[in-house]
Each structure stands twice: as structure tokens, then as C-alpha cells.
């Protein structure tokens, strides 16, 4: 399986997770939708051809507007974890508040402390966002100084 297929398989696994947990139905009931906004994947070992495996999905953390899901591709023969992935699912919609949704579908569930791995990943996402905000601010500042934007030219291959 090539690396792009892993992400495709995760989409299917996430759909099953949303359906079985009731999270997606509750988000839709409140007029919201879910958008995957970040993924981190670690390929530990290739899955051998024709080897059966399962994909696990576990909600490991959440905040007001996002769900954080950990996935594992696990061998059915010896429980070896071939691949592990973290995904950030941002929930869109003005009436959607994740803690309320979690409480509705699983009353009494406590917010898990983020693992060190998740905390570091979230910091890297924040740093990436800051980088792009700084770039945008620099470009806006250049425009205000009367400088012209750089022009990017994309050429297509004429057939």
C-alpha cells in the first residue's frame, strides 16, 4: 500500500468512528460540519501485501472547536502497529460547542490530558500558523509602504 492510500483508509475509518460514536450525527443536528485541518502520520513498517489489518480510532483530546483522533493500523495476526496517525478535525458551525457534544453522547466524560506527543504536535501546528500570519503581515506592511506585490507566474504545459 502506498503512503497516499493510508490517508484514504483513514478517511473511511474516521467515517466509521463518527457513525458508531454518534459524534457526527450530533454535530449535524446542530448545523455543523467537520473539516480535517491537520494530520501527522508515522509509518513504522510497511503492511505486507494481502496481510489483514484493522484501523483503530480513538478520541484522545478536544477543545471548543476541534477533535483530536489517534489512529493505528494494526496487524490482525500479531497486533503489531504498522502506522500511527494523529488528526485534527475542526468543527464548523456557530451552534457547535465540542464539550457540549461530548457531554451529550457520553455523559460524565472527562477531557483527557494531551499526551506529550499530542502537545508537541499542537505546538508545531501553532508555530506553523504563526509563520503564515507573519508572512501575511509582512506582505500587508509592504503593500502599505507602496511596494508592489511579487508576481508569481505559473506556466501550464501546452499539449
**pLDDT tens track for 47-86:** 999 999 999 999 999 999 999 999 999 999 999 999 999 9
Which DSSP helix (H) or strand (E) runs through 59? Answer: strand 53-62
Q: In the prediction, which pLDDT does 2 show?
A: 84
Helix (H, G, I), strand (E, B) or coil at 54: strand
Closest Cα to residue 71, out of 131, 119, 12? Answer: 12
The class of domain 3-112 in CATH terms is: alpha beta
Q: In the prediction, which pLDDT does 106 show?
A: 94
Q: Percent of the chain having pLDDT more than 70?
A: 90
The grid cell for 39 is 494530520
Helix (H, G, I), strand (E, B) or coil at 14: helix
DSSP E strands, 2-105: 33-43, 53-62, 66-75, 81-92
Rounded CA separation 34/101 (Å):
13
Amino acid at each position: 500500500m502506498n503512503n497516499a492510500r493510508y490517508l484514504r483508509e483513514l478517511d473511511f475509518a474516521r467515517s466509521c468512528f463518527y457513525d458508531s460514536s454518534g459524534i457526527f450525527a450530533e454535530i449535524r443536528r446542530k448545523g455543523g460540519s467537520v473539516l480535517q485541518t491537520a494530520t501527522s502520520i508515522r509509518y513504522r513498517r510497511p503492511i505486507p501485501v494481502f496481510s489483514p489489518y484493522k484501523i483503530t480510532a480513538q478520541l484522545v483530546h478536544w477543545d471548543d472547536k476541534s477533535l483530536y483522533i489517534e489512529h493505528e493500523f494494526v496487524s490482525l495476526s500479531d497486533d503489531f502497529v504498522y502506522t500511527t496517525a494523529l488528526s485534527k478535525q475542526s468543527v464548523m458551525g456557530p451552534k457547535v460547542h465540542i464539550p457540549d457534544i461530548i457531554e451529550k453522547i457520553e455523559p460524565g466524560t472527562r477531557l483527557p490530558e494531551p499526551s506529550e506527543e499530542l502537545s508537541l504536535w499542537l505546538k508545531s501546528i501553532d508555530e506553523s500558523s504563526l509563520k503564515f500570519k507573519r508572512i501575511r503581515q509582512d506582505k500587508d506592511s509592504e503593500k502599505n509602504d507602496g511596494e508592489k506585490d511579487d508576481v508569481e507566474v505559473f506556466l501550464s504545459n501546452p499539449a
